[in-house]
Amino acid sequence: MAIQFYQNISDEIKGIFKLDTKETSYVMGVVDSEGFLGHIYYGSRLNDYRLAHVLRVKEAPFVPSVNNRDRGSFLDSFPMEYPAEGLGDYRESCIALETRGGNTGLSLNYVSHKITEGKPALLGLPASFGEKSVCSSVEILCEDAHTGVQAAFLYTVFEDVDIITRSVRVINKGNEELYLTKVFSACLDMDNRDFEAVSLHGSWARERHIQTVPVSHGKLSIESVRGESSHQDHPFMAVKTKGTDQDHGEVYAMHFVYSGNFKVMVQNDQFDQIRMTMGIHPEGFKWKLGPGEEFQAPEVVMTYSDEGLGKMTRTFHDFYRNHLIRGAYKDKKRPILINNWEATYFEFNTEKLIAIARQASELGIEMLVMDDGWFGNRFDDNRALGDWIVNEEKLPGGLKYLVDQVNKLGLKFGIWFEPEMISPDSDLYRAHPDWAIAIPGRVGTLSRNQYVLDLTRREVLDYTYESVAKVLRSANIEYVKWDMNRQLTDIGSAYLPAERMGELYHRYVLAVYELQDRLMKDFPYLLLENCSGGGARFDPGMLYYSPQIWCSDDTDAIERLKIQEGTALIYPLSAMGAHVSDCPNHTVGRVTPFETRGHVALAGTFGYELDVTKIPAQDREMIPEQVAMYHKYNDLVREGDYYRIASYSENRYYDCYGVVSKDKKEALYTFVQVLNRPNYHSRRIFFKGLDPMKEYRIEGEEGVYFGDVLMKAGYLVQNMWGDYKSRLIHILEVS
């Protein structure tokens, strides 16, 4: 059994929960007659549940139930599984409320629990899933006797993949309405062992760069209050013991399955205990909960690795591939697409698109994606969002004609939408100015000349859905790029009553989930790719609806090394939208070899974003080769184990990563020489992930080597001349 409950351990410890995956254990204790739920242990798997001795129940003057005077010192030092605000734990809390009388404070204490096989779905929210045979769950019910607020903590153990997921459901069992002002989803209290925090940061066109900093006194907070997970911060944090690298050391990681405002925090307290928390950002959040009503907080995915960051990465990859990503393309190769954004921007018409498609089809490309600019009066980005009607000036004969022509050329057809938006200069806004999120009477903040639709309104949500669905029904459209090009401001709704205005941010995210859920149900064959000004909504929440997400608007191969390294730290390569684009690169002006652009894009979904009729002939001639390369390697890239070998962000000269098949018969390593160094004739690379006892050959080279030789003695990458050069090294077991 992956989840066990042991009763009556000692006078103070009423029970112990032990959750086991194949290689980890997670242990909690119910202490004192009041039933505080304390965190005892998370780490490599333990044989025994008898861990009561490490829970500091006697150090601080303890037992609040018989010595209320010292409740404060207890609450401020005890490792809480889910700390509540206002009664004496001054560290970061997970839950806070306001009663009708304006009072705060609560204490959630154990009432009961239920262990079940499988995992229940979370109402209205994306969440991981698993058959009864692969996971089991415990729901621990706690209550604040004073207000009648209950919290049900759901823990699910995915035994084979070393993942534990957590979420919280708050239920108002009292007689009065109250307001939740904070509901986080997870907390992890541990002794500080010289931890370092790893997180992901960036901006537009440079998303998810890795940052590692010491966990020092005070709080390190990673957050978004932008209404989406954002370019800037990412809802992920790992703490690792000092010196932990790809292959050694301990790592505790949390990742949030949510696409809106979030706060991830690590705090080192006065006793050098750390607290990590993760949840919806409390700023702008106030949820009215009437008697009998419930609030479901999103899910956190946790893992522990004692074999460095690499193992954490592979655990997340396996977990997301098998227990989060869904749909027709879950385990399938994706069509190689060509997108016209960087090729034409807004200046295209049917003829131009067909010319691109014709040339693309001759080269082996499999799908044409028509990006922004095909609807309403959309000749630039100042107008027309919301008017999802084909612009026949650009597309004479309409959408069906274009799609049919593209299909005749042997290509699938995909289309771009930005359904959540409304331009002030649009027929939709002229008809329904109150459909935009806005503060009444205040001039709204424009961003990219647009406002955000108030999707908390049912009629707006239905209109939005129908606008997309109608277009999809009108022609043979097999792919949608769902974009979102601005963040939320001016949080006001003409629909929500005053006491519910604090619900807008979260309701907005729920509405986006509802829209995409409907889309997946009504068009189950569709390949959905989420996007947000590049990669501002690249998060596990969106991954539940779309098996791939556009990684970044920066398509420069060298910038991409950093972006893809950070993204691949947690996400499988199959999820990373990656394209070959034209040079000089439109974002940084860099010129890189076409070959390198292809090699780097191969680590993602692979496609093109250029005018294939205009690029230099020698680049165009390379496309059939790249297409063949994609078909040759994509199964391995999509399904294999990822290993980081060298990081250009750290060493400034070269990058190397590899994917090894699960049976270790095949591996593909990508080496990129970013900057050449004078008098460096080769780089010695130590491969990872091979079977030490298997014999391998390197495609295109003489010689046979045992796996241990290639991993321990290494391999020389030679004869790399120039900057931005790359090489693929394909290794096969000798049969």
Residues 122, 510: Cα–Cα separation, whole Å: 12
Using the rule CB under 6 A, is 531 a contact of ligand GLA?
yes
Q: Nearest distance from residue 372's CB to ligand GLA, in Å?
A: 3
- The DSSP call for residue 709 is I
Contact 95, 104 (CB under 8 A): no
Residues 513, 511: Cα–Cα separation, whole Å: 5
Cβ-based burial of 716 (10 A; exposed 0-12, middle 13-18, buried ≥19): exposed
Residues 578, 207: Cα–Cα separation, whole Å: 13
Using the rule CB under 6 A, is 541 a contact of ligand GLA?
no
Using the rule CB under 6 A, is 601 a contact of ligand GLA?
no
Residues 135, 645: Cα–Cα separation, whole Å: 32
Among positions 261-300, residues that touch ligand GLA (CB under 6 A) are none
Residues 629, 639: Cα–Cα separation, whole Å: 16
**Amino acid, single-letter form, for residue 640:** G
CA distance from start to end of the chain? 40
Q: With CA atoms as reference, report the closest residue to 369 among 622, 612, 621.
A: 612
Binding ligand GLA (rule: CB under 6 A), the pick from 235, 534, 540, 577 is 534
Q: Nearest distance from residue 321's CB to ligand GLA, in Å?
A: 24
Q: Nearest distance from residue 532's CB to ligand GLA, in Å?
A: 7
Q: Nearest distance from residue 199's CB to ligand GLA, in Å?
A: 23
Q: Nearest distance from residue 326's CB to ligand GLA, in Å?
A: 23
Residue placing its CB nearer to ligand GLA in the complex, 534 or 572: 534
Residue 375 forms beta bridges with which residues? Answer: 390
247 tagged catalytic: no
Binding ligand GLA (rule: CB under 6 A), the pick from 553, 554, 556, 641 is 553
Of the candidates 553, 556, 619, 655, the residue annotated as catalytic is 553
Residue 68 forms beta bridges with which residues? Answer: none
Residue placing its CB nearer to ligand GLA in the complex, 269 or 371: 371
Using the rule CB under 6 A, is 483 a contact of ligand GLA?
yes
User: Which segment (6-14, 527-535, 594-602, 671-679) binds ligand GLA by CB under 6 A?
Assistant: 527-535
Residue placing its CB nearer to ligand GLA in the complex, 143 or 371: 371
Q: Nearest distance from residue 301's CB to ligand GLA, in Å?
A: 26
Q: Which residue carries 């006797």 as its tokens? A: 145
Residue placing its CB nearer to ligand GLA in the complex, 295 or 550: 550
Using the rule CB under 6 A, is 604 a contact of ligand GLA?
no
User: Which segment (12-20, 452-460, 531-539, 563-571) binds ligand GLA by CB under 6 A?
Assistant: 531-539
Q: Which residue's Cβ has the minimum distance to ligand GLA? A: 372
Residue placing its CB nearer to ligand GLA in the complex, 575 or 690: 575
Residue placing its CB nearer to ligand GLA in the complex, 107 or 532: 532
Residue placing its CB nearer to ligand GLA in the complex, 3 or 484: 484
CB-hemisphere CA count at 13 Å for 206?
A: 11
Using the rule CB under 6 A, is 32 a contact of ligand GLA?
no
Residues 525, 513: Cα–Cα separation, whole Å: 18
Q: Nearest distance from residue 458's CB to ligand GLA, in Å?
A: 28
Residues 40, 79: Cα–Cα separation, whole Å: 8
Q: Nearest distance from residue 652's CB to ligand GLA, in Å?
A: 28
CB atoms within 10 A of CB 722: 9
Q: Nearest distance from residue 609's CB to ligand GLA, in Å?
A: 8
User: Which segment (60-68, 238-246, 526-534, 646-654) binds ligand GLA by CB under 6 A?
Assistant: 526-534
Residues 224, 381: Cα–Cα separation, whole Å: 25
Residues 141, 154: Cα–Cα separation, whole Å: 9
Helix (H) or strand (E) holding 580: strand 579-581
Contact 280, 261 (CB under 8 A): yes
Scored b (16 or more CB within 10 A) or e, 464-482 reads bbebbbebbeebebbbbbb
How many residues line the site for ligand GLA (CB under 6 A)? Answer: 12
Residue placing its CB nearer to ligand GLA in the complex, 441 or 589: 589
Using the rule CB under 6 A, is 416 a contact of ligand GLA?
yes
Orientation angle between helical segments 557-568 and 594-601, nearest 10 degrees: 10
Binding ligand GLA (rule: CB under 6 A), the pick from 162, 371, 503, 666 is 371
Query: Cis ω on the peptide bond leading into residue 584 (within 30° of 0)?
Result: yes
Residue placing its CB nearer to ligand GLA in the complex, 252 or 550: 550
Binding ligand GLA (rule: CB under 6 A), the pick from 426, 456, 485, 596 is 485
Q: Nearest distance from residue 624's CB to ligand GLA, in Å?
A: 25
Contact 274, 268 (CB under 8 A): yes
Q: Nearest distance from residue 688's CB to ligand GLA, in Å?
A: 33
Residues 621, 625: Cα–Cα separation, whole Å: 8
CB atoms within 10 A of CB 249: 18
Question: Going residue by residue from 336 to 365, which x/- string records binding to ligand GLA, judged by CB under 6 A?
Answer: -----x------------------------
Among positions 65-104, residues that touch ligand GLA (CB under 6 A) are none
Using the rule CB under 6 A, is 598 a contact of ligand GLA?
no
Of the candidates 483, 554, 582, 641, the residue annotated as catalytic is 483
Q: Nearest distance from residue 566's CB to ligand GLA, in Å?
A: 17
Q: Is 695 helix (H, G, I), strand (E, B) or coil?
A: strand
Token representation of residue 307 = 């074999």
Residues 714, 575: Cα–Cα separation, whole Å: 30
Residue placing its CB nearer to ligand GLA in the complex, 343 or 728: 343
Using the rule CB under 6 A, is 372 a contact of ligand GLA?
yes
Token representation of residue 117 = 């096989």
Binding ligand GLA (rule: CB under 6 A), the pick from 130, 235, 533, 658 is 533
| Long-range pairs, 97-104, Cβ under 8 A, ≥24 | 97/147, 97/149, 97/178, 97/179, 97/180, 97/181, 98/178, 98/179, 98/181, 98/286, 99/147, 99/176, 99/178, 100/176, 100/177, 100/178, 104/181
User: Which segment (326-334, 435-443, 528-536, 671-679) binds ligand GLA by CB under 6 A?
Assistant: 528-536
Q: With CA atoms as reference, report the closest residue to 377 among 340, 430, 454.
A: 430
User: Which segment (92-100, 185-193, 351-359, 529-537) binds ligand GLA by CB under 6 A?
Assistant: 529-537
Q: Phi, psi at residue 407, to the nearest 5°?
A: -60, -40
485, 488, 493, 498: CA torsion to nearest 10: 170
Question: Going residue by residue from 379 to 398, which x/- string records binding to ligand GLA, judged by CB under 6 A?
Answer: --x-----------------
Q: Nearest distance from residue 726's CB to ligand GLA, in Å?
A: 24
CB atoms within 10 A of CB 463: 18
Question: Going residue by residue from 621 to 640, which x/- string records binding to ligand GLA, judged by CB under 6 A?
Answer: --------------------
User: Which segment (24-32, 264-272, 530-538, 624-632) binds ligand GLA by CB under 6 A?
Assistant: 530-538
Question: Going residue by residue from 124 to 143, which x/- string records binding to ligand GLA, judged by CB under 6 A?
Answer: --------------------
Alpha helices in 364-478 (DSSP H): 398-408, 427-431, 458-473
641 tagged catalytic: no
Cβ-based burial of 450 (10 A; exposed 0-12, middle 13-18, buried ≥19): buried
- Active-site residue set: 483, 553
- Interface residues toward ligand GLA, by CB under 6 A: 341, 371-372, 381, 416, 483, 485, 531, 533-534, 550, 553
